[in-house]
Amino acid sequence: MALAVFKTVGRRFKPSPVGSIPTPSAFLFSSSIAHCNLTYYILSQKWRGDIASVKIASFVVFFSIVLAVYGLINFYIFVRGWQSIPQTPFQKVFYLAVFFVISLSFIAGRILERIIPSSVSNIIVWIGSFWVAAMLYFFLFILLLDIARLVNHWLPFFPDFVKADYAKAKATAAWVAIGLATIIIVMGYINAIHPKIRTLQLNIPKPAAGLKALNIAMVSDIHLGTIIGRSRLDNLVKEINGLNPDIILLAGDIVDEDLGPVIRENIGEALKNLKAPLGVYAITGNHEYIGGVEKACRYLSTHNVSVLRDSVLKIDGHFYLVGREDRSIGQFAGRKRKSLSELISGVDKNYPLILLDHQPFKLQEAVFHGVDLQISGHTHHGQLWPVSIAINIIYELGAGYMKRGETQFYVSTGFGTWGPPVRIGNRPEIVNFRLTFQ
C-alpha cells in the first residue's frame, strides 16, 4: 500500500507553472515531490534481508515525508507573504532572498554540520531551528486568516476599514503575524532553557530486601548536540547531583541524531560528573537509532553511563531495573526487540520491578506483566502547542502520571528539544521520584 501511495504521488503531483511565484519557492515544492519519487524508487528495489538497505530505506522514507511537509508548508507561507507585501521590486527581491535563505537554513545547517562542521554551520543550524518554530506559527496564523476570508466570502463580517484598503489590511496582518511569532518564540526559548524539577512521591507495595526508600533522578530526551551543548549539560548535571539521588536514570534520546558535535566538543565529558551510589543507567531512544545506535551506546558507555539494551539488572539486591531497546530497532536495524515477557521471564516479582521504555506505547503490557513503575519519555508533550493536542490523541498517556491497576506510569516531557529550541505549552523537566517500599 505504501508503495502504491508513493507511486501515485510521483505520477500525479508534478510541479506545475506557478505564474508570478518566483523560482526558489517552486523549488521548495518540486524538491518535496522529488523526494517522494526517490522514496518510491528506493522502496521498489528488492533489498529484503539486507540490514544496511533496510536502514537506508527507513532513512529515505522518514526524511522524504519530513521534507515534503516542510517544503509544502514553506511554499504556502511564502505565497501568502508574497501577496501581502508592496509590489515594489526592491521589497519583492528582499523578501525572496530572506525567505529563501531562512527556509532552507535548517536543512542546509544539518547537512553542513555533518560534512563541514564549523561555527558557520552552527549558526545556520540555530537560525533554521528557530525558523521551524516560526514556520509552525506563521502557518497557523495564515490558515486562520484564510479560513476567516472563506467565511467572509459567504457571510460578510470584515469591518469597513479592511474592505476600504485591502492591501493595507494584508500588510498589517503580516506585521502582526511577525510580531506575534517573535514574542511566542522568545518566550518559548526562555521557557525551554529553564527546566523545572518535578517531584513525585510514590509507593510500591512490595518489600525491597530491607530498602525502605529510593531516591531516583530521571531525565529523558536531552538531545545532546549543536543546540543542547556543554553548558546546558553542565547545568543539568549540577541540578541532578543537587537532588542527592541513589540512582540516575536516562530514559532515551540522550544524544541527538548527529553524534558529531557531541564528540568534537567533548560534550559528554560532563556525564562523568553524575554522582549516584547505585549508578547511572540509560536506554536507547529513537534518536540513538537515527544517528547510529552502536556508536552512540559506545560513547555513553565510555562516559560512565551503563546502557541497558533489552536487559535486566537486580540493583544491589533490592529491586529490578529493566531496560528495553527502543521500538526503532525494527525500522533502523532490521531486528526485533525482545518481548517484555521474554525479558522478565527470570525475574522474581516479589521484588519491585522498574521498567524503562522510551516510547510509551502498549502500556497494557506493563500492567499484564506486573511492572510496578514504567518510566518513558519521547513525546516532549508535543514541544510546541498545539502539537500537544495530537500527542494526547496518539498516546494513552502523552505526559505526566497515571496508575492502572497496580502499575504506575510516568511519561516525561523531557529536558531538551528537537528542532526548534523552543517549548510552548509545556515545561522541560528533571523528574525526582521519591519511592517508598512496603
Please compute the mean of the pLDDT values over residues 55-83 and round it to a whole number. Answer: 85
3-state secondary structure of 426: coil
- pLDDT tens per residue, range 177-219: 999 999 999 999 999 999 999 999 999 999 999 999 999 999 9
| Confidence at 116, pLDDT banded by 50, 70, 90 | confident
Query: Is the CB of residue 432 less than 8 Å from the CB of residue 398?
Result: no
Q: Cell numbers of 400, please?
A: 505526566
Q: How far apart are CA 398 and CA 413, in angstroms?
A: 8
- Say yes or no to pLDDT of 78 above 90: yes
E-strand ranges in 75-230 read 196-204, 213-219
Distances (CA, A) of 6 to 63, 71, 247: 14, 17, 47
Q: Could you tell me which of 278, 395, 263, 265 has the C-alpha nearest to residue 327?
A: 395
Buried b (16+ CB within 10 A) or exposed e, 235-258: ebbebbeebebbbbbbbbbbbbbb
Greatest alpha-carbon span in the chain: 79
Q: Where is pLDDT greater, at 165 or 233?
A: 233
Query: Is the CB of residue 320 less than 8 Å from the CB of residue 350?
Result: no
118-122: which pairs have CB atoms within 8 A and are 24 or more residues apart?
122/226, 122/261
Query: How many other CB atoms are there within 10 angstroms of residue 175's CB atom?
Result: 10
- pLDDT tens per residue, range 125-151: 999 999 999 999 999 999 999 999 999
What one-character-per-residue DSSP string does 52-119 give? HHHHHHHHHHHHHHHHHHHHHHHHHHHHHHHHHS-S-HHHHHHHHHHHHHHHHHHHHHHHHHHHS-SH
Burial zone of 71 (CB within 10 Å; 0-12 exposed, 13-18 middle, 19+ buried) = buried
pLDDT (0 to 100) of residue 222: 97
| Amino acid letter, 326 | D
DSSP tag of 26: H
What is the distance, to the nearest Å, from the Cα of residue 358 to the centroid of all Cα atoms in its chain? 12
Rg (CA), the chain: 24
- pLDDT tens per residue, range 290-334: 889 999 999 999 999 999 999 999 999 999 999 999 999 988 888
Q: How far apart are CA 285 and CA 47, in angstroms?
A: 26
Q: How far apart are CA 251 and CA 285, in angstroms?
A: 8
pLDDT (0 to 100) of residue 54: 59
Distances (CA, A) of 109 to 101, 128, 254, 403, 419: 11, 7, 21, 43, 11
Burial zone of 342 (CB within 10 Å; 0-12 exposed, 13-18 middle, 19+ buried) = exposed
3-state secondary structure of 325: coil
Q: How far apart are CA 99 and CA 114, in angstroms?
A: 24
pLDDT (0 to 100) of residue 56: 67
Distances (CA, A) of 81 to 138, 139, 150, 162: 10, 11, 18, 17
Give the list of residues 6+ apart from residue 190 with CB closer than 8 angstroms, or none.
none
Please compute the mean of the pLDDT values over residues 404-432 and round it to a whole number. Answer: 96
- Say yes or no to pLDDT of 76 above 70: yes
pLDDT (0 to 100) of residue 61: 79
By DSSP bridging, strand 373-376 and strand 353-356 are parallel
| Confidence at 59, pLDDT banded by 50, 70, 90 | low
Indicate whether this model's pTM tops 0.95: no
Residues of the chain with CATH 3.60.21.10: 196-437
3-state secondary structure of 272: helix
pLDDT (0 to 100) of residue 389: 95
Do you know the residue count of the chain? 438
- pLDDT tens per residue, range 332-384: 888 899 999 999 998 999 999 999 999 999 999 999 999 999 999 999 999 99
DSSP tag of 255: B
| Average pLDDT of the chain, as a whole number | 87
Q: In what order do the strands lie in the sheet with 353-356?
A: 311-315, 319-323, 353-356, 373-376, 407-411, 400-404
CATH architecture, domain 196-437? 4-Layer Sandwich (3.60)
